[in-house]
Amino acid sequence: MTRSLQQIIGESGISFGTSGARGLVSDFSDDVVASFAQSFLLGMQREFQVSRVAIGIDNRPSSPAIAAACSGAAQALGIAVDYYGVLPTPALAYQAMQDGVPAIMVTGSHIPFDRNGLKFYRPTGEITKADEQAIVSTQAALIPYSSALPAVNSLGAENYIQRYREVFAPGIMQGLHIGLYEHSSAGRDLYANLFRSLGAEVTSLERTDTFVPIDTEAVAEADVKKGRRWSQEYGFDAIFSTDGDGDRPLIADENGEWLRGDIVGLLCARQLGIRALAVPVSCNTAIEKCGAFDEVARTRIGSPYVIAALEALAPNHASIAGFEANGGFLLGSDVQLNGKPLKALPTRDALLPGIALIAAAADLKLSAQVAALPARFTASDRIQNIATNTSKAFIAEVTQDSAVLLDLLALGPKTVAALNTTDGLRISFTDGEIIHLRPSGNAPELRCYAEADDQATAIQRVKQVLDALKLKLA
């Protein structure tokens, strides 16, 4: 019996999280991938004239085969494929938006090596939660297809870099020495030449042939040590890196200390003169306390929610942007830089905040840029390999009685000032500290965020909470 696209997708074990459809590589069979692609494209054909689709990949070894199934499914529908090969997700999104075509990015971003994912873009930008529901609900049958990829087109990567060359002055990074932590980033072949064209000296670091799942929200201790060691060895003004698909920045100051993603976003927004922001509830409260913005909208975690909030802000503000705790920066409106227009790119981007912050370091060191902000510090980490349902059940239980959670966590005498259940459970205490628990939307992980008036306390709170939860949930 012929199965519908809905059935094939529903039985695959692959589901949408906070950013795209994610699952085990072993579950991404050709038929499952083709079903996702066909369902997405059929939906786009109901709204747009679709004759082409843009496809790109990250450096995971499983990504080319998944892209080939996407391409084959598109061609079976009579849709031509613009295949851009390995490039950052924002580069693919930007090219597709300029061409007015839908796009599919094959990437698992930062999640473990045994997983991968698919990100979908409308001709106008990221898909919505309604689009996600439509993709998993299509009743049409899977039509015959043959997995195949056309030749790589370099235009997507070239136009992405040219986007920034056109608005940033050639000597804006003159005199700066940048460390480029390449690992397996999808943009690693692009960044060095761009930074050099802006005047910087660039030293490439630790390119790998194996995929490295860099998580910009939970930087591995090994990478913390690398940053400090590299800074001491080379005397860098900054170190730049990204997650696997180049939409989340990882930036270290001149001391090799990695900056939190929401601090990167805050500094970038100020550099660009943004007037209104949309950010998830997990982001640092220095955003409001710094007084730089006319309005700050708080959302659930995930770029679709940030984008929805940007759309709501747009009628009332001349310039809008969003970012997440992972640092991915979404430019929600056109802005003027150096008297030149920079077009909106409402999807997470690592490169714009990288250029903005590092270029500013020519006048004010990165550590000093951070020190000038209100003294609010965040830390985060996660428990891996814990079922999402287990995390959700636990959070639902303690939300009903926060005293149970406080007893379990043994944080000492504390009084709850407010509870926020916008996304997970966020507890604000009368002493100004914040603890936020939520299941990851992309992997079987329970994440913990903490905010305090000093970094050591924030780090200590995350460790205390996760140590207690590991014993409880093991």
List, for residues 65-99, the tens digit of each pLDDT value: 999 999 999 999 999 999 999 999 999 999 999 99
Q: Give me the domain span that covers residue 444.
A: 377-473
- Whether 160 is in a domain gets the answer no
Which pLDDT score is estimated for 141? Answer: 95
Task: Examine the domain organization and report whether 79 and 183 are in the same domain.
Answer: no
Clarify whether residues 228 and 87 are in a common domain.
no
- Is residue 70 situated within a structural domain? yes
Statement to judge: residues 391 and 357 lie in one domain:
no
Task: Among 112, 130, 154, give the residue marking a domain's end.
Answer: 154
Res 311: pLDDT = 95
Give the per-residue pLDDT at 347: 95
Is 400 part of any domain? Answer: yes
CA–CA distance, 247 with 83 (Å, rounded to integer):
19
Closest CA to 58 of 193, 239, 195, 247: 247
**Of 213, 218, 19, nearest in space to 127 by CA:** 19
159 within a domain of the structure (yes/no): no
Among 2, 31, 210, CA closest to 14: 31
Q: Which of 371, 390, 413 is the last residue of a domain?
A: 371
* Same-domain pairing of 256 and 363: yes
Q: Is the same domain home to 393 and 366?
A: no
**Domain membership flag for residue 433:** yes
Q: What is the pTM of this model?
A: 0.90
Q: Measure the CA–CA gap between 200 and 121, rounded to whole angstroms.
A: 33
What local confidence, expressed as pLDDT, does residue 1 receive? 55
Kindly state the tokens that stand for 444: 């079987």
Question: Which parts of the chain register pLDDT below 50?
Answer: none
Of the candidates 62, 109, 185, 241, the residue annotated as catalytic is 109
Closest CA to 205 of 184, 222, 175: 184
Of the candidates 154, 181, 197, which is a domain's last residue? 154
CATH code at position 445: 3.30.310.50
pLDDT in tens, 15-24: 998 779 999 9
φ, ψ dihedrals at 216, nearest 5°:
-75, -10
- Quick one: 43 and 144 in the same domain? yes
**Is there a domain that residue 133 lies in?**
yes
Domain count, the chain: 3
Residues 434 and 346 in one domain: no
- Residues 98, 131, single domain; the answer is yes
Q: Which residues pair with 66 in a beta bridge?
A: none
Is 216 a member of any domain? yes
Same domain, 261 and 113: no
Q: What is the pLDDT of residue 435?
A: 94
Residue 345 one-letter amino acid: L
> What was the pLDDT predicted at 248?
95
Question: For residues 91 and 84, what is the distance between their CA atoms, to the nearest angstrom?
Answer: 9
109: annotated active-site residue: yes
First-to-final CA distance of the chain: 42
Q: What's residue 380's pLDDT? A: 86
How many angstroms separate the Cα of 464 from the Cα of each of 358, 382, 449?
Answer: 34, 12, 12
| Residue 58 domain flag | yes
Q: Read off the CATH number of the domain in which 94 is found.
A: 3.40.120.10
Looking at the structure, do residues 186 and 293 belong to the same domain, yes or no?
yes
Task: Based on the fold, state whether residues 120 and 181 are members of the same structural domain.
Answer: no
Mark whether 122 and 145 lie in a shared domain: yes
The answer to whether residues 21 and 15 touch, using CB atoms and an 8 Å cutoff, is yes
Amino acid 158: pLDDT: 97
